[in-house]
Amino acid sequence: MKVLVSVSSMVRIALWLMLIAVVFGAVLAGG
């Protein structure tokens, strides 16, 4: 159970990081 929660939280953090990277890249490309 603990492993499942840890994996899901890691996936969530990875998704947030990808989203931030995409937004940051768009801002850099636009600016």
pLDDT digits (tens, 9 = 90+) for 4-29: 899 999 999 999 999 999 999 999 99
Residue 23, number of CB atoms within 10 A of its CB: 10
Q: How far is CA 20 from CA 1, 4, 12, 27, 30, in A?
A: 29, 24, 12, 10, 15
Please give the pLDDT value at position 1.
72
State pTM to two decimals.
Answer: 0.63
- The whole-number pLDDT of residue 2 equals 86
